[in-house]
Each structure stands twice: as C-alpha cells, then as structure tokens.
Amino acid sequence: MVWSSWKSSKGETVQSYTMLTVNADDQPLMRMFHKPVDEKRMVVILQAERYQDWLRVAPEHSKNFLVAYPADALIAVTPPLLAVNLSTEQVSTNCM
C-alpha cells in the first residue's frame, strides 16, 4: 500500500491510500474472480521478509516487486452462508 496523510479544506486529517495491483490474466486462482471479458487484477503481495527490500529499493528497480503472487501460496475459501431465520408468517407475507 502507498499512503499519505493530508489536511482537508475543513482542516481535518485525511488518510489516503492506494493498493498496487498487477495483471492476473494468467494467475490460476485470481483469474477465477472476474468476469471472462474483464481484465483480471490482483493486489501485489509481498512476503514479510521482502518488506525492507521494498522500502529501500531504488525507484528504477521497484517494478521487480510488481508480480503476481504464486497461486499455490494462496488459499481461497467460500464464506459461510448466512442463516435466515424467518417465521412462516414472515415468509408468506414477504412472498405476496
């Protein structure tokens, strides 16, 4: 993430950030999360041991960090379904 703090016209401190993304058309896991016709994107993920390298890299070499994270190092899970507790009366009222 790239971030900054700045003062709004009202004098309030505002925290702004951006997340760096890369193309994920060929990333086996992340390409499943977009429509077939849309460009596939994923957030750049750095391994913890690379944080200091990223913070110290010369700008001309920073692009070397902008790569898709390996699919086999990611885990995707389906979130649990929300239980809906509607009484019979609520169901029939909502269906009319």
Q: Which residue type sits at 81?
A: L
The predicted-structure confidence for 41-92, as pLDDT tens digits, reads as follows: 999 999 999 999 999 999 999 999 999 999 999 998 888 877 666 555 554 4
User: What are the sequence ranges of the domains in the chain?
Assistant: 2-95
The DSSP letter of residue 92 is H
Pairing verdict, β 21-23 and 13-18: unpaired
Pair 44, 24: CB distance under 8 Å: no
Nearest one of 48, 43, 44 to 62, comparing CA atoms? 44
pTM (2 d.p.): 0.63
Q: What is the pLDDT of residue 31?
A: 85
Q: What is the pLDDT of residue 85?
A: 61
